[in-house]
Amino acid sequence: MTPNSSPLQRALRMAPDRTVAAQARPEQEFFCFRVGELRFGVPSENVLEVLRAGLLTPLPRTPSFILGVTGHRGQVLPVVDLLRFLSKGEARIGPRTRIFVGVSGSYVSGVVADTVLGLRRIPVADILPPPLGGDQAAEHLLGVVQGSGPSDGLNLLNFSKLLQTARQRAVVR
């Protein structure tokens, strides 16, 4: 150390490199939304955009979790009710309902969201494993993030697996 260095220069020399600091606490970005009383997060790379819920055309002989299809940018998108898919209730389509366009590989689908909570960066260390034993929903979770209150928790979805399972269930019929 040079005797003439300022406190700022000494602090900068002692501070960890930014790349080392970023690796020490890696984060993942999730698109967060609410359906019914449940809060979910989907990896942001699986979300293309968010739309207002418009007119849905019901399809005959499809599973109940497929609410219908909607046209978007020249494509016909199946729209999934996540609550029905996970056996947690039923989504209600209203004037404030949104549909986010989710993608995994070549699968593209719309998913109903009551409220969009936005993007959230979550430290990987804060993600707890999904609960063991339990219901069908747990098999589609990457993990959970505890909140400060009982309704503040966040269920992180394995969106690729969810879309693949939804497609398999729809084709089996």
DSSP string, 120-148: EEEEGGGPBPPPSS--GGGGGEEEEE--S
Q: Tell me the one-letter amino acid at 8.
A: L
CA atoms within 13 A on the CB side of 78: 19
- How many CB atoms are located within 10 Å of the residue 65 CB? 21
Dihedral sign for Cα 118, 123, 126, 130, please.
Answer: positive
* Residue 159 is assigned to a structural domain of this protein: yes
Look at the chain and report how many structural domains it folds into. Answer: 1
Give per-residue pLDDT as tens, 92-136. Answer: 888 889 999 999 988 899 999 999 999 999 999 999 988 776 666
Residue 53: predicted pLDDT? 86
* Residue 137 is assigned to a structural domain of this protein: yes
Residue 11: predicted pLDDT? 74
Residue 136: predicted pLDDT? 66
For 136, the token pair is 């069908």
- Tokens 């098999």 — which residue? 139
Residue 153: predicted pLDDT? 84
Residue 83: predicted pLDDT? 92
Range of the domain at 72: 31-172
Cα gap 154→123, rounded to integer Å: 13
Indicate the pTM of the whole model: 0.78
**For residue 131, which phi and psi values (nearest 5 degrees)?**
-60, 145
pLDDT, averaged per 10 consecutive residues of the chain (173 residues), comes to: 71 68 75 93 95 88 91 90 90 90 91 94 90 72 80 86 87 64
Residue 25: predicted pLDDT? 64
Which CATH number is 80's domain given? 2.40.50.180
Residue 172: predicted pLDDT? 64
- How many CB atoms are located within 10 Å of the residue 36 CB? 14
